[in-house]
Every structure is written in C-alpha cells, then in structure tokens.
Structure 1
Amino acid sequence: MTLESLRLQNFKRYAEYEITFESGLCGILGRNGRGKSTIFDGVFFALYGEYKGSKELIPTAGSTGGVKVELNFEIEGKSYTAIREFRGKALTAYATLKEADVSIITGAREVSTAVTKLLGMGKEAFLHTVFASQKELTALSSMKNDERKAMMRRLLGLEKIDKIEEMIREELRELNRELKSASGFLLGDDVLKAHREDHKSKTETALTLETRIKQLNEEAATLKSAYEAAKVLVETHQRAKEERQKKLDSLDKLQQALALEQKQLTALDEELKTLQAQQSRYTSQLPQKARFDALEKSLSEQESLKAAFLKKEGLEKEQEELRKSYTARKEEVAQLIKETAPLETLKTQLIQEQTQFKALKSAFDTLTEQITRTTAEIASNRTNIAGVQEKVSRITELGAESACPVCTRPLLENYDAVLSSLHREIIDVYQRQIDEAQIRLNTLNEQKTQQQKALTEAETRQSTTDKQIALLLSKTHDLAKAQEKFREIETRGLANKTALAQLVNINYDEKVHIALRGERDTLKPQVDALLSLEALIATIPAKTEAAQKLGAQIQTDTQSIAAQQKLISEDTYSEKAHADAAVHVKTAESAKDAKAVEHNAALLEQTNLRRDIEAIDKEIKRDETNRASLKSRENDRDDYEKLKAVMAEFKTHINARVAPHIGEVASEMYSRITRGRYQHIEVSPEFDFYIYDNGERYPIERFSGGEIDLANLVLRIAISKTLGELSGGDNIGFLAFDEVFGSQDEERRIQIMEAFHTISESYRQIFLISHETEIKEMFEKVVEL
C-alpha cells in the first residue's frame, strides 16, 4: 500500500487542506502547532474511522459544513479512495470505499472491515506498524521493566492472550454445567437389552435377503452384458452407415466444387480477353496523363506565387502604418521625457520639506508638553490655596482655643500670628507662583499659535510637492509604456523590412493562373477515366495467376472424385444386418428390465430392514455418543485446564521468538548509523535492551542521550518491520515517524537519514515529521507547513 493524496475539510485545525504524497524519503516540516501530525491523523481516520490522540474530533472553529476526509491510496496496482464524513448538527458518520471511481462499500463499519481485509491488518496493528512518535521512541528505553514488557505486549498484540485466558476460564465453567446436565440423558440397562435383541433378529433376516440379492445381481449382470453386447453391435452398424453417408456427402461436395470452378474459369478467361483489348487504348492515351501532371505542378507553383504576392502587399501596407506610428510614438516619448525632467528635483525638495515638517512638529509637541505642565502647576497651587483657606476657616470658627495646624496645641496668644502667617502663605507663595505660571502660559500659548500656523503651512507645501511627484511618477509609467511601444514598432518595422527584401522579386500573373486551371479542369475527366482503366489493367497478372490456379484445382478435384467413387464401391455396409441387430437389442433390453424389477423389490425389502436396524443403531449409538460426549467433555475440561497453564508459557515463548528478530534488524542499522562504533543491539526475551561496545555487553542506560535516541529509533523501525511481518501486512509500503531527531547533532542527523535511506529499499514512502526546518536539505522531497 502506498499513499497518493489526502484532502481534509473541517478536520481539527484544517478548514480546507489537500496534500499529494510522493515516493521516496519525504520531510513534513513546520513549527509546532502547524498541523503536521494532523495529516497522518487524517490518514488513520480515513482508513479505520478513528484517529490518534484522546481529544474529541471537533470541526475547525468558525467553519461551516461537516467534517470530511478523503484518502486516495494504491494497493497492488489498483487505486482506492476512502471517504469519511460527519454530517449535520449531530455529526452523523458516513463512509464510502471506492475502487477507481466505482463505489464498492458504504457504511462506517463496513468500510473499516473492508480496509482491514485489503491491508491484511487491523487498526491497532496498522497504527503500531506504520506510525511512531518521539514520545513512543523514548518510552522504549525509559520505561521500567514491567512497563516495557506491557508496552511490547500491546504492540505485538499479546494482550489478546489475556482475553483468551478469560475465555478459557468461562469455557471451564460452561463445561462443568454441561457435564452435570448431560448425565440425565443416558438410556437405562433394560432398554439397551431390548434394543440389542431386536437388532440381532433383524440382522439375521437381512443376511438371508442379502444372499438372494447377490444371486439376482449375478443374473442381472449376465443379462446386462448380453444387452451391452447387442447394443455395441447396433452402434457398429450405425457408425458404418454414417461413414458411408460421409463418403457420399464428400463426393457430392467435390462434384459441386468442380462445377463452380469450371464456371469461374470460363468467366475469368472472358474477363482477361476484355482487359487485354482495353490495354492498347490505355497506352494511346498516356500523353494526356503526363500533360495533366505537368499542369498540376504548374498550378501548385502559381498558388505559392499568389500567397507570396498577397503577403508582400500586406507587409507593404503594414509598413506604411508602422512609419506613421513610429513618428507619433517618437514625439510622444520626447514630450514625456521633457515633462518628467523635474521629478528628481521635486523628490529632493520633498525630502527637505519633510525634514522641516518633522522639526516643526517636534517643536510644536514640546510647546504642548510645556503648556500641559504649566497648567498642572497652576492647578496644583490653586489646590494648595484651597487647603490653606480651609485651615483659616477652621481656626477662625474655633477662635484662640483652636489647635495649631502644626503641633496641635491650642493657639491662645499665637492665634493672630498664625492667621497672619497663613494669609501670607496664600499671597506670597502660592498666588505669586500662580501669577508667574500664568504669564509663562500666556507666552507659551502665543508661541503655540504661531507654531501651529507654521506647521500648517509646511504641511500644505509638503502635500503640494507630493501631489506633483505622484503626477510625474504616473507620467514616468506612461513614458515606460510609450518607450516599450516605440521599441515594438521599431522591431516590427525592421522585421517587415527584412521580409519585404526577400519578396522583392515576386511576380504573379493571375491570367496565367486562371488559364492553367481551365486547361487542368478540361483534362481531369479524361485523366480520371484513364486512371480507372489503369486500375483494371493492373489486375491482369493477378487474374491470369488465378486462372492458372483454378485450372490446377480442377485437375486435382477430378482426381479426388475418381478416388471417392472407388471408396464408395468398396464399402461393405448392410442395411438388413443393421435392422436384425436392432431387433436383438430390444429383446435383450426387455429381459434385463424384468430382472431389474425383481431385483429392486428385494432391495426395497432390504432397505426397510436396514432402516429398522439403523433406527436401533441410532438409539444405541446416541446413548454411546452421549456417554462418549460426557467423556469428551470431561476430557475437554482436562484439556482446558492444561491449556490454561500452557497460555502462560506461550507468552514467554512468543516474546523469545520475536525479540531476537527485532535485535537482528536493529543491530544492522545501528552498526551502520554509528559507522561500526557499536556492533550489536541485543533484545532479551524479557525485552531488556543491551548495546555491545568493543565486544562487551552494556545496558542501554549506560550510554549518552544521543546514542540512546539513535538506539530507540532503530529499535522502533525494527519493531515496525517485525510487526508488519507478523500481522500479514507485507503490502504496506510506507512508514511515518514523528519528531525522531530528538537531541541529535548534525552528524547524527545525517546518520539517521542514512538509516532511513537504508530501509527505503523495503518501503516506497517514508515520511518524517519535524519542527526543525533547517534539515530540509537532507530530504528527497519536502512539504512545509
């Protein structure tokens, strides 16, 4: 199986996406969250109706319509299309499987079943064989022993053995119930004795009857042999009669053929005489054919001259128009060059005006900030005055007993001094600062008004210059177009001039052309008749040869007729002997049939006896069967008990069988990736991993992170190949790995890519998903997301 294309609609993050899969080593690259892994979620979903991951399948946010995934793939030269959809608000599942463009299966479950049959593996085997992620690779070496065993058993499908063991336990419970129930269906001893006595009596009668039937068989055989012999004699006479008739028929056919051949020969002789007479007339008219051929050649030359002459006239007219256009375009270009001359000066002027505007704008912004600060200063001083005035109001209201605003003791004799101090603070400090700030604010506002006017004038000048430049730029484009048109006209004019130079000597006379055509048309009927006569004359040699062959065939057929007549005269068939043999066979058949009736009556009696004996046998055998079944169930129960114990041993056995194969495949790749630095990877029956370094075996945990990542990669590839072989999925032609580069440096990445190139002999397509876009040069093909 290889992938051809995938189309996603409202699937996870993709509102609409389509990808074509090519052969070879392909990198699917992009930053995290760009939907790289979603592509293969879509492949798995199209095939089996599920996808990797635990989140629910939700249509893309903000999208309309249902979910649709369409996968095109090829198996053994045949193209298939798997389509999965979720339609409507309830997201009802629909599925279709097509071969070429013809739908062969519909229904979600039915398509999954058909895909499983096509690929030779179910969804879990497919998932574990084809896909691998960085998380899954790391888990191989980082898991504890029991966890690793569980993961390997899951990958290998050995968890199914657990289900088998549960089935065994359930079967044992059912067998025990059946054993208890079956004991009540056995026959008693008295019934068995009566059945056996009746069986003995009827068996003796049947033996006597069998002797009689044997005698009847012998008599019937004798009569049948006599009948068969008589029948053979009749058939011999019949064959002799048929042979004689064949000879007569053959003679008749030969005589008819001879008469036809003689008639054909006469007709051919007459036809040849007529053709030979016409041949002399054909020879006398050959000069007319030669003149017609010469006229045809001359007319062809005239047609060529006419075409060249018409082309010359057309070029001369076009050249005149081009001269006019040349002059007009030349003047237009000159005028536009003159009009666009000030452009560079205006661009320089615009830069100066923009610089002046920025300076004015900066000064204006500075003034605005100063005005804002001054206004804030005035407001702050007014707030301070209000605070002092509030203190004065409180002191005045309470009189000399009021508390000092500083030390909180009663003012008493300091009452007037404090009030005077507070009034001076308002007038000499805050009001003075407000007046000074107001003067500055008035000055700043006047400056801002002047600056605003200057800024507006600068902006107007800049806008005017900008418009002039835009107008000149537009004319620059017009100039380029005019120059291009001018060059085109100039090029066409030169080409026409060259073509006219080649046609300068062309002379065409229409009257000569018409005269030649008239002469040709006059001769044509005569030449056509001559050509028809030529075709007839050409048949003379063939007809002469046919006449000779007919003469020889007539001689052969005459000899064959004489020979056939001699064979008929020598024939020994006798009509009377044939009739006598037919009478004898009927007499023998009647005797045979009478004996068969007597024999059949004896057989009927024997059949009835056997039916009775068989009925007794069935009762006895049913009881024996019930007893044997009871014993068989007891044996089954013992076997299931043994099988229960064997299943545990089978788990260990299958692990020991698969592990070495995984190790062999992984070792070959690991040695190549590390360029012989490490010779061997060992996978124990308990799925512990070891690496051989200089002939010494070490646990995988001993090595660095990069080396472990490499080991995990080759182990996962080896597991994929092994699982593919075990699951029967030999027709799977692609692999997909998600983020396999891990912590590898550039050299190891190159080695990993070499490893994938190595296994590309076994897989037509290998897809590597990575967020590291700088490695894209390492791939044969790249899809960037």
Structure 2
Amino acid sequence: MLMIDSITLVDFISHRDTTIRFGDGVTVFIGRNGSGKSSVIDGITYALYGKHTRRNNSNLVRHGAHHSSLILEFSINGKRYKVEKRLSAKGTLESGVLYELSGGSWKMLAAGERKQFGESMSNEIAKILGLDYDKMRVAAVIQQGEIDRIIEYKPKEFKELINNIIGIDRLDNAYELMRYVIDGFRERLRSVYGYDDNSRDTLARDVERYEKDVEEMRRMISRIEEDVRRVVEEKVTLEKEYEEMRGKRERFEGLKVRVSNLLNYIGERKRSLEREVEEIKATISKAEECMMFVEQEEKVKASLDSAEEKVNRLDEEISRYKQEHTRLESLKRLVADKMTLLSNAREQLSTVERLKHVPDELSKVKERLQEVSYRISSSNEEMGRLKGLMECASKIEFKDGICPVCNSKVERINPLFDKNELKRRIQDAARELDILKREYLKLENRLKELEGYNEQLHMAKGFLEMNKIASINSIYALEEEVNSLSREVNSINTIKSKINSLVVERNDAYDMMKEYRRRLDEINKARAFLDAKSIKNRDDLERLRREVREREGLVGRLKIFLDKDAQTIALSMISPSPAYNIDEYAIDEYSKRLVGEIVTLAGECKGFSEERYMKIERRLKEVERVEREREKELAGLKSRLDAITNDLERLRGTLKVLDHAYNHTTMLERIREKAFHRNSIVARSLRSWALQHISDKASEYAKAFSIDISRIELVEEEGNNEVNIACYGRRGLIDLASMSGGEKVAIALALRFAIAYVMGGYRLDFVIMDEPTVHLDEERRASIVELIGLLAEGSALKQIIIITHDSEIFEDADVDHLYKFEMTDQGTVVSEVK
C-alpha cells in the first residue's frame, strides 16, 4: 500500500525551506489562498511523475533563487523509497535519483529522464506504484477545481478507471503473461525440437518422408560400391604400365638435360667465338687507322711549334694595347668630371653675381621689421590706455552740466573724459595698428625670401672657393684644359678596334694550336694501341685476318647444331635413324664428356613414347578422380544415411513429446480465457463487486450532503464496454446535466470518497483533496468534515490529506495533524498546530 512519509521543498515555488512529515489519519493544511498549500501537491506529483499544474518547470523555482530541489519519501508494500530532484533557475532538471532502502542504506534504482534512451525514473516509479499520473490524479489526488471532473468522464474511460482501481489491469497483465508463457513454451519446443504442438501433423509427414529416404539411400550405396570395385581393378593395371613408362621418361628427361647442357655450352662457345671474331676485326680496323696517324707525327709537331710561337707574340701585343686603353679610359672619366665641374662653376658664378645685393637688403629689412614691431607694441599699449579711459568715462555721466562726483557746475569737459573724443582716438589708433600689422606681415615674408637667397649665395661662394674658382678667367682656363684632354681621349676607339682585331687573330692561332695538340695526342694513343697489340708492321695485320677466317668457319658449323631445340635432338637420338652425328660437336674435353653421357642415355630410352606416357597418365588420373568421387559420394551417402536415421529416431521421439505438449498447452489456453480475460467471469465478478461497493458507499456519502439523491448507481452496460453513473431521487432517475453546480460537486465528492474507501483496500493508502469545500454552501461544507471522519474510520485508508482555506470548519474538527501555512517576505512558513 502507498503512503507518503515526508516531503522537503527547498526554493520550490513559494517554499524556501519546508519539511513536512505525514503520519496516519487525517492531515489538514490551512492557510490563505497563495500561501503555498497546493505547492505541496505539485511537489508530490513532480517528484513521482515529473508533472505538475504550473504550466512550465521554470514556475517551480522560487523567484530570485538559482536552484530548486525536493526530497520525497514514500512506502509501498513494506518497502521504503526516496526521490531526490534538482532544477536549474530555468526549470531544467539537473539531477534526479530514485533510491530504495535496503540493508539500512539507500541504494540507487534509477536516475534521470532520458526517455529516448529508455532511462526514466518516472516510468520506474509508475511501475512500482502500478498507476500513472492521470490515474493517480483521479483516484488519489483531487486538485483544486477538479473535484467534479470524475463525473465528466466518458463511460468507456470510467470503466477503464474502475478496472485500474480494483486491479483488473493486473488480470490484463496476467492474460498477456499467460500468452507469453504459452508462446515461450512453444518457442522452447521449437528451439529444442524444431517443432511445436501445432506442428504434429507436419512432423508425422516428415517421419514418413524420412523413412522413404532411408530405403532409397541404401539402394544407392549398393550401386556405388559395385562401381568402386570395377574402378580399382582398372587402376591396378594402369599403375603397373605407368611405372614402367615413367622410368624411361625419367631417363629421357635426363637425356634432354644433357642435350640442353650441350646446346647451352655450344651456344656459349659460339657466342664467345663471335665476340673474338668481332674483337679481332675491330683490332684490325683500329690498327690500320693508328698506323696512318703515326706516319703524320713529324709534320704535326712542326705545325704545333709554329702555332704556339704566333699565339705568344699576339698575346704580348694585345697586352700593350690594353694598357694604353686603360689609361685613356681613366682620362675619359677625368674629362667627364671636369666638364661637370665646368657646368656647375658657370651656374654658381652666375648665382653669386645675381644675388650679390641680398646681404645689404636683408640687413635693411631686419632693421625695419624691428622698428615696426616696436611701433606695434606701443600702439597696443596706447589702445589699452584709451580703452581704460573709455571705461571710466562711461561710468561718469554729466547731466545739465553738473558733475556727478562733486555736484558742481562744469563749464568744459576734460578731453580725457569725453567719450566722443576717446572713441575717435581709439578708431585712429586701431587704423594705425592695422597698417603696422600688414606691413609687419609683408616684411616677414620678404625676410624669409631674402634668407633663402642668402643661403643660395653662401652655397655658391662655398662651391667656388672649394674648387679654387675666383673669376671668369678661372673658368676659361678650365675650358682650355678640358678641350686638350678631350682631343687625346678621342684616340680610344682606334685602340679598341686594334685590340679586337688582334684578339680575333690570336683566337684563330690558339684554335690551331689546340687542334695540333689534339692530333699529337691521338698519334701518341695510336702508338700505344699498336704497342699493346704487338703490331709492328702490316704483316702482323695479315696474321690477324687469317685468325678471323678460321673462327668464322667453326661458328658456321656450330650454328647448324643450334638450330634445333633439346626436345627435337633427344627424340632423334632415340629413333631408329638419328638425324645428327653428335660426335662432331665434341670440340673440347667438357663437350666430349657430355656427348658420351648423351649416347649412353639414348640407348636406355629406346621404346619411350611421350604420347603413350601422357595418355596413360591422363587415364590414371581420370580413374583416380572417379575413384575419389565415388568414395566421397559413398562416404557422403553413408553419413547422410546415419544422419537421416538419427533424425528419424529423434523425430519419432519428438512426436511423442509434442503429443504430451499439446495436452498441456490446450489446458493453459483454456485457463487463460476462462480466468484472466478482462471479460471473463472472474473479472466481471470482481468489477461487479467493486461497482456495487462504490455505489453503496457513494449513496451513503451523498445522503450526508442533504441533496435530493437517494441512490447513486454505477451500471456496467453489457457488451458495450462502458460504465455509466445513474442518480435516483424521489421521482426516479435524475439527469446529471440538469443538476446544479453544488449538487454535481456533492455527487463527485461522494463518488471520490467511495472510490478512495474501496481503493484503500487495494493499492493506495492515501488520498489528497485540494479545496474540497469550493462550490459548497455553509451546511454542506460542515457536512464534509463529518464525511472525512467517516471515511477515515470506516475505510482502510491510512492517510487523508485535506488542503483548504476554510480554517474555521477544521480547527475544532477531530483531525490527527493540522498544519498552518503563512506567506511571509521569506516565502511560505509552515507550522504544526496540533
């Protein structure tokens, strides 16, 4: 049975830090609207199911708090559980854990709400309680304004609620579990035997088919065993002939190897002789060329000496002309420098002549600028003095010729206090000052201009002094020097042309010298080649030509033998009339030994035929293949025969087991349909008993409300899967739609109390009612206290929790626990009254 043990709310809605412990009996929460009473219900439902009435989770966090948390402890069926949840300021679930008390300590059962991964502590709690959030709200949590919701249920939904309340949904579970049990039993039959009880006829046909297969397979084995005997006899005959022919073939292979070795050796000797012939021919050709070079040695040496003498003479002449060219190039650069100096000197001398008056004018401008500056300063002082007098004169005002200071008659005003005179003098002074400033500005500009000219003058004089040019005569002398040097420099092109001509002549002579040296080097190499080959004259060349002719004749004979392959030659050797005289190719000791071995092996291979050998080999392989296939086929048939025989025995045993299983599953399906179906006699009887008890208790509670209802009847309609609410009065059946709001609330309370009474004996030990007195008049509000007392005494419910702002009707009532809720600046404060 489910009971709420305690709840702790920290920064949850209006609660800063509240802990409430629930005991047995009636517990009443009293306080003004908004004092935080209903928050306890939201705390309980959010802890259990993650749901509440506050629209979104952010409303669960107290205003100004960074986090919100709650701890709920509850008991069911003798086990204790604890739920801890923590939310962020935005209402996001930061952590959530479900614990079970085991062995004196809390053990974690589930955590978090990742439903997409199949992880949900709320689902785990729903399984433990056996009720989801919606059914819990109807059966045990009656929230404010939803008391009459129960009578608005559709008949089909109301019947489903009754089924869940009295546990008929457990019959549904048992009905489904029985199907799983039967299906599981059949699945185990299929996994163990390959058949279930529904396959007995199929199994019987399989047994008959297997028996026919066994007989057919035995006949096939007998035929194949006879084939194997015949194949073995032929194999023995072929193996004997094959062994004889294989011996000759092995010796024939040895013969081919010897012939191949002889061919390889003869081929190598032929290639060696060909290389020797080519080398001797190359030596003859090279020797003839070298002898021609050697005969020209004296002539080449004389020409080389003449070419070397000419190159040395031309190198000396070119060196002299290059020295003269270098001197003239230096002189040319000097002329260019003096021409540049001459041009600059003319320009600077002209500048000196043009600006010679600048120093005097600069001195005069500086004197006048100093004089004007002094006059401007004096004018500014005079202007200040006049403006001061003007300010004093403005303060002294003469009326009717009377002095404002001494009050005496004034015949004539002192000009110092005459404002008109002062104003004229100020204007004159301002005009003079303006003229002086404009003159000062012009003088400043002229001063800057003259200072620039003076700087140019100093630079020009410095340049002339540095280059020792005092007058125009110095420039004339410099011009005469430049003209003299230029005439000497003009001969540089003639020198350059002469050098180029000599260089071309020297290069030609040098090329000739290199050519004679190369030819002399070739002569020396030719003499060395002839000495290395021991060739002294043309008789030695004729000797080499005879050697070439002898080797070429031998190569021709060897080539005839090499035109055939080893296979052809070997076959010819074992034929009655060989096509080759093998002795002709015994040209040295090694080849003589090979020829002897070939002749011996050829005699031992007489009568060998490769065609006959291959034919016997192919037939032997074919016979062996057929033998293997028949033996493999025979082994497979015997193995299959054993397997089918075993399967046949197994199927016969399985058929006996399935006969027993069929009787067992038939009995289980009969029990499932008769006992656990929701429309079975068990479920109908249980539902009928519950509807009767709820109807009786609801009628009893309705009478306490003094309404014109004598009987509330819950009626199950046959065949339409519905439960209707029927109310009877003195005039018979009364339509719920025609009742007043208060009458509907009274009927709803009566039904809820009746359901809670009956339900207390099954799944829940508590009921929570939020503002149950809303919409009730004074007399009926008083009656509800009596009804709650009756409910507490007459039912198995251990906890009844009432939330109300009608404190006056409960303060003197016989309740077990009374908690007062008050709203303060720090949030909700809860205190136990009794």
TM-score, with length taken from structure 1: 0.37
- Higher Cα radius of gyration: 2
TM-score, with length taken from structure 2: 0.35
